[in-house]
Structure 1
Amino acid sequence: MNIAFSSCPNDTFTFHALVHGLVPDAPPVEVTYADIDQTNYWAANQEGPEVMKISFAALPWVLDHYRLLSCGGALGRGCGPLVLTKEDQNDPRFLEGKTVAVPSDRSTAYLLFRLWTAQNLNEAVGDIRIMPFDDIMPAVERGEVDAGLVIHEARFTYHNYGLHMLQDLGEWWETDTGFPIPLGAIIARRSVDHQKVEEWIRESVDHAWAHPEDSNDYVMEHSQEMAPEVAQQHIDLYVNEFTRNLGEDGWAAVRVFLERAADEGLVPDFPREALTEKE
């Protein structure tokens, strides 16, 4: 089975057992490590592996050919993207007409940002500049952009750049909707036995929790020189019960998120029944 996911600690922790043959009856797995922005476009273009991780925000472009799986992804509370500025700001309208760096224009972070600005700004943001996520904080620090939208471990490290948080978009989303924030989704081609794949991924998650030491070397090998304590924070934040099973709240969070985005014209319309567990 071919699978693509990122080199981030939450993904390597989640899939370690499956990749290393520790899940009974699962087939051998060939992994492609790819940034989620890359897999978003692979899936939309019907390219790439049978199973992959993409952003929940990219689902409307892929649901004709892929099915959302109920496990392996990343949802949660207290783990949303942040809007950062060089100077300490507390008024969202600071962003009106400003240049903002974002890691992707087809990501949960970006859709949340657009939904939040639509609700809180009187005038539009100025330029949106797409750049690799690890370049965003240095660009804000140097004053090359007025603000940056950051994800992943940046929420733990932005103080190192002397930056300030204008908004925690996850906090806004949870307050506004009551739902967890949908970040990364696992999808499988419709030709794949999705129930079997879900079973294997769920067993991989269970193994990771039962034997966390097993994945340490694998996680750190792919963690891009991240400090071990930061990698562990990353895992603790993004691997949770929603990773094992979306559940009623998880499925509802995804539907509300993408329905809002579709209503705002930020994503293509999509068959709403495709985002139900019984689809």
Structure 2
Amino acid sequence: MVRLEWQIFLLAVQFLTRLPVPRDLPFSDDLTIRAVKYYPLVGALVGAIGGVVLWAAAQIWPMPVAVVLSLAATLLATGCFHEDGLADCADGLGGGSTGERAMEIMRDSRVGTYGAAALIVTLGLKLALLGSLAPGAAALLLIAGQGLGRMAAVQVIRGTPYARAQGGKFAVPRVTPDGYLVATLTALVLWLVLWLMFGVAAMVWGFVLSMVVLLVFRGLFMKRLGGYTGDCLGGAVVLCELAVMLGVTAWA
């Protein structure tokens, strides 16, 4: 049982990152669904990689350099997986006059004006926000933010239909009740970390702002697409991670 859960966790790592995992992992639709519960934990793992790089680099270089290196580490760990989704969503929802046209644009691998602008703004804000904190606090915020961003993807999967009738490579059809409970408990631990590090006001504002952003973004792609796609999950991850950082640093 423990071995199977470890394999399911590694399956989530394989799905969300480019980190090396054993090649002989078991795979099935059922295991893919069960792996959803580990999304926030995988996000925290990616954040921990960036946090270690940030703290170590801050001992040698100025904070802006340390933050850039830490974000580079997270992008390498994920293969820019979620940022690619955000860019595709921005291009499709911003440039598509109809839902069908938006979906067509989102399938295009090229990055357009809306996508480039979204990446510049989100990455620029992360650099500014993390750079405004002490190294230890910035590292913890990066860990919690990455994990809670993946919880946003779990929320979308749980409460939103999939937009493409035929499914897709990155589509996860549902999250089980026990899986949602595990993911929620992981998220609660991350919120507790923010509470202890930054105070209750910062934690509450991070939570409120991330929920508002998630609801607005979900409403937008639901209206235009009628459901979510893999790109929408990536966009939700990046935007809600940023919202957590904005809310927390407003009171830090």
Same fold by TM-score greater than 0.5: no
Q: Which has the higher strand share?
A: 1
- TM-score normalised to the size of structure 1? 0.28
Q: Based on CA coordinates, which of the two structures has the bigger radius of gyration? A: 1
Q: Which has the higher contact order (CA 8 A, sep 6+)?
A: 1
When normalised by structure 2's length, the TM-score is 0.30
Task: Give 1 or 2: higher helix fraction.
Answer: 2
